[in-house]
Structure 1
Amino acid sequence: MTKRVLHVVTNVGHYDDPSHPTGLWLSELTHAWHVFDEAGFEQALVSPAGGAAPLEPRALKFPNYDKTAKAWRCDPAKMALLATTKSPEEIDSADFDAIYFTGGHAVMYDFPHSESLQRIIREIYERGGVVSSVCHGYCGLLNTRLSDGSYLIAGKRMTGFAWREEVLARVDKLVPYNAEERAKQRGALYEKAKLPFVSFTVSDGNLVTGQNPGSAKATARKVVEALAGNTSQARP
């Protein structure tokens, strides 16, 4: 059976200060999409509110703007996918083998508070599917609880955009909270690379996470590996 992956993107276009735009970090989507496409997976997009997903301007500049991101923006059909994402209420988690949370600072605002997304995460995870995130995407996991009431990330090895990287990116005064610290507060066994902005991934069972934009390809490959080795769970 063909594997199916659900990508989660943001609906938010700016920080608390509207004069500072943000949005989806496009390459975190396109790199993973390319990896999953090569693996023969079917893919779909969802966002907390459904509808359009704004793009992070800084992700559209060198060196972040690579050939996969450029190809996506030049493809009207692909851009239409970002303009018409589904809402969580339109998604049946049983249709998907994995969920992949993209990043960009915008997700810090709308990912953590979507109870509908949390339901999808919980159902995929507890069925044995793969839950994954890259960069700030792990904000979507911060408030997700399992059926027993425990945080999904409690006691789990994981990673995500580090506070040191926020400081180096000069957005530590703009972000609404310290995501690394919040993950630790929820019991996550947070890890990060020795050097900032280098590719770094962590797998703990069916939880796969990547630290920063440069980790998107490696994170997606880990998801492919996890699904290839996971024959115990199958969609109904």
Structure 2
Amino acid sequence: MKKFALFAGIPLLLIAGLALALPSILNAAGLHPEYEGEQVDLSGKRALIVTTSHATLNVPGETSGDPTGVFGSEMTEPYYEFLAGGMEVDIASINGGEVPIDPQSFLYMIKTQADERFLEDAEFQAKVQNSIPISAVDVSEYDVIYLAGGWGPAYDFPESAALASLVSEAYYADHAPILAGVCHGPLGFVRALDNEGNLLIAGRRMTGVTDKQVKELGIEITPYHPETELRKAGALFESQTAFRDMFANHTVIDDERRFVTGQNQNAGAEVANTAMVLVSQSGS
């Protein structure tokens, strides 16, 4: 009987060991790769992280569904990357107030060190709970405007006239910030217009979540998908692929060096750092 009990415990130990190793396994497969970018000093410069205000993963027109929002690391990784460069960082959202965060993004197997840091950072949490409404943002105050992703932006980013206006205003500002976005974040660019009334991103190299990744994750109920909408807006869409695209990674700088976009949740730190490098090179 004792021998049977000993062997019966082996599968449980194996399961427990696999569970403990899962974060490392996923990281090795390509999820949240370690990124060491160029060190820049942007003391006195400011960054704005723009997030969704949509909190429910639902069929458009319905009100019930799983909780969603911004994907944690797509907000936390850039935030701490900007801070490391000496920048001041503000948080804005479509409606202002408390930013919804997708609870699945903080599951232990995918939670990043930046996420862990956020959960202990009272100042950052206060900014997230009291975000600036897009309508109140003064683009002249910022050197980088970064659009965070997650499932939430698939509902409200393309629908926000205020966000589209902010992107256009930022692009033409005398003190023009670098415009950046990751995952579903670039959906905030698709309705922005140039001074002639044409879509601002037409003809620009960009990336975002692939249609393949959306299908692989089985979440196709959202009203807008980044690859589809970026292509519709005339962007020259590019991406990398993997056995599952959630493990792929790609960052794009447009030829004018005004937009930096990242394919998915793996690109947050890289996109933020790349945007900072472009600011440092602009001399502004």
RMSD: 1.4
How far off its partner does 1:194 sit?
A: 3.0
Contact 2:183 2:226 in 1 (8 A): no
2-side partners of 1:167 and 1:89: how far apart? 34
Q: Give 1:150's aligned residue.
A: 198
5 Å-filtered alignment, 1:67-86, equals 67-86=113-132
Task: Name the SS of the counterpart of 2:179 in structure 1.
Answer: strand
1:39 aligns to 2:85 (yes or no):
yes
SS of 1:133's equivalent in the other structure is: strand
1:202 counterpart (249, 252, 267): 252
CA distance in 1, matches of 2:114, 2:259: 25
In structure 2, the residue matched to 1:52 is 98
Distance in 2 separating the partners of 1:150 and 1:4:
29
**Residue 15 (structure 1) aligns with:** 57
Question: CA deviation digits over 1:71-114, x for unaligned, max 9?
Answer: 21222222121111011222111111121000111111111122
Instruction: Measure, in 2, the Cα distance between the counterparts of 1:121 and 1:103.
Output: 16
The one of 181, 196, 199 equivalent to 2:228 is 181
Partner of 2:170, secondary structure, is helix
1:128-186 CA-to-partner distances (Å, cap 9, x unmatched) read 421100000011111111222111210000000111011111212x2223331121111
> Could you list the runs of 4 or more consecutive aligned residues of structure 1 that deviate by over 6 angstroms after TM superposition?
none
CA–CA separation in structure 2 for the residues paired with 1:15 and 1:219:
26
CA distance in 1, matches of 2:164, 2:224: 20
Q: What are the ranges of 5 or more consecutive residues in structure 1 without an aligned counterpart?
A: none
Matched, 1:108 2:154: yes
Q: Paired residue for 1:26, among 42, 58, 72?
A: 72
Which whole-Å deviations, capped at 9, do the CAs of 1:190-230 have from their partners, x for residues lacking one?
00013223221000121100000011111111101111111
Q: Tell me the distance in 2 between the aligned counterparts of 1:157 and 1:4.
A: 25
Question: SS at the partner of 2:66?
Answer: coil
Paired amino acid for 1:6: L
Distance 2:115 2:241 in 1: 27
User: Paired residue for 2:240?
Assistant: 193
- Secondary structure of the 1:199 match is coil
Tell me the equivalent position of 1:121.
167
Distance between the aligned counterparts of 1:194 and 1:54, measured in 2?
29
Confirm or deny: 8 A CA contact 1:5 1:97 kept in the other structure: yes
Secondary structure at 1:229's aligned position in 2?
helix
Distance 1:110 1:177, change over 3 A: closer
Query: 1:27 touches 1:64 (CA, 8 Å); kept in 2?
Result: no
Contact residue 155 and residue 222 of structure 2 kept, 8 A: no
SS in structure 1 of the partner of residue 67 of structure 2: coil
Identity of counterpart residues, as a percentage? 28
Counterpart of 2:27? Answer: none
TM-score (structure 1 length as normaliser) = 0.93
Alpha-carbon distance between aligned partners in 2 of 1:19 and 1:117, rounded to the nearest angstrom: 25
Q: 1:165 aligns with which of 202, 213, 230?
A: 213
Whole-angstrom distance in 1 between the partners of 2:261 and 2:229: 16
Unaligned runs of 5+ in 2: 1-42
